[in-house]
Amino acid sequence: MAYTTIDKPSDYFNTILWTGNDTDNRIISTVGFAPNWSWIKARNNSDQHYLVDTVRGSTKVIFSDSTSSEQTRVSAVKAFYQEGYILGQEAQVNRNGGTFVSWNWKAGTSFTNDASSTGVGSIDSAGSVSTDAGFSIVAWNGNDGTIAHGLGVKPAMIIIKSRQTSNNWVVFHKGLGTMSAASNSILILNGTAAKDDPGAGFAEPTTSVFTIKGGAAANDNNIGYLFAEKQGYSKFGSYTGNGNANGPFIYTGFKPAFFIIKRTDATSDWFLWDNKRGAINEITARIVPNENAAEGSASMDFVSNGIKFRNDAAGRNASGGTYIYMAFAENPFVTSTGIPATAR
């Protein structure tokens, strides 16, 4: 069996950069595929994170740094395009002279599930899925039941947000432990809190459905982004800090293109790095998903088979601290033909 089935990860995930010019109907066509989920952030300004997808529509924006409900912004991402999108003149995505980054994922296959007809789940759902890449976008209405996700395997991470209500973003991650009646840990994407067991949230997902308990989602329209682990392309796990500038090494099995972490045992920000804003090690350019702050600095290395930490900051590498992570590949460690990746 081949090490990986995805030799070119940039067919499913890619980071791109641009400089704003305040031009209406500006075409951004460097993603390399038609994106289904795009997460945009101004690098040099304290602007909100803009998250758009093809299931809700390009002009329907939600913000990872806010509890705000979905907003319509017709002058931001005006439309999705063949290999990107068309921008309007909104400053948060196209300010003249501003620098911007976006992280883009491909799903691509539309689906609907009538739960009463199929017997899969208890709440109707619709969305877009790539079983090859292990990614699905799922929309549903309601807050207590089971929902089809289309992945065909158990998701490793689930991120959900109410579209109509001012609610927290709620995150399930396999690194938080098995979901059960006795253990129901979640994280909040728009906040700094440690993991919480609120008595409402997720139950352990299956290969066909995920479970929402009352309180994790609003009793209205919701959106979820679900990820399954794919060898050589994506990795979802946990690590323990050593409190040393010579920090821990995290084996992913690929050269990373994207890496996001959150401390789970204490209050801390989320932190995000990619391979485009820091092309040569040490990579220092980091963004905080739960804040609208401009890009900051924190060091690490992306190597051929994982991540090496280079500082002892508590939010990333406290002695005995526990953390979860989400990573996507630039190159697999070994391709399907047996060719190894090279170090940065």
pLDDT digits (tens, 9 = 90+) for 219-256: 789 999 999 999 999 999 999 999 999 999 999 999 99
Q: Are residues 13 and 79 both part of a single domain?
A: yes
What's the structural domain count of the chain?
3
Q: Which of 195, 227, 259 is the last residue of a domain?
A: 227
Q: Which of 105, 121, 150 is the last residue of a domain?
A: 105
What mean pLDDT value characterizes the chain? 92
Q: Is residue 54 part of a domain?
A: yes
Q: What is the pLDDT of residue 181?
A: 43
Q: Are residues 273 and 328 both part of a single domain?
A: yes
Is 39:50 a contact under the CB 8 Å cutoff?
yes
Q: What is the pLDDT of residue 182?
A: 44
Q: Is residue 339 part of a domain?
A: no
Q: Is residue 291 part of a domain?
A: yes
Whether residue 341 has pLDDT greater than 70: no
Cα 245 to Cα 2, 133, 326, distances in angstroms:
36, 34, 22
Q: Is residue 340 part of a domain?
A: no
Q: Is residue 110 part of a domain?
A: no
- Report the alpha-carbon distance of residue 333 to residue 233 in Å, rounded: 9
Q: What is the pLDDT of residue 178?
A: 63
Higher pLDDT, 338 or 192: 192
Residue 86 structural domain:
9-105
Q: What is the pLDDT of residue 144?
A: 86
Q: Are residues 285 and 310 both part of a single domain?
A: yes
Q: What is the pLDDT of residue 185?
A: 84
Which residues share a beta bridge with 306?
A: 251, 303
Q: What is the pLDDT of residue 143?
A: 84
Q: Are residues 91 and 24 both part of a single domain?
A: yes
Q: Are residues 221 and 252 both part of a single domain?
A: no
Q: Are residues 218 and 238 both part of a single domain?
A: no
Q: Is residue 338 part of a domain?
A: no
Whether residue 179 has pLDDT greater than 60: no
Q: Is residue 120 part of a domain?
A: no
Query: What is the rounded average pLDDT of the residues 53-73?
Result: 98
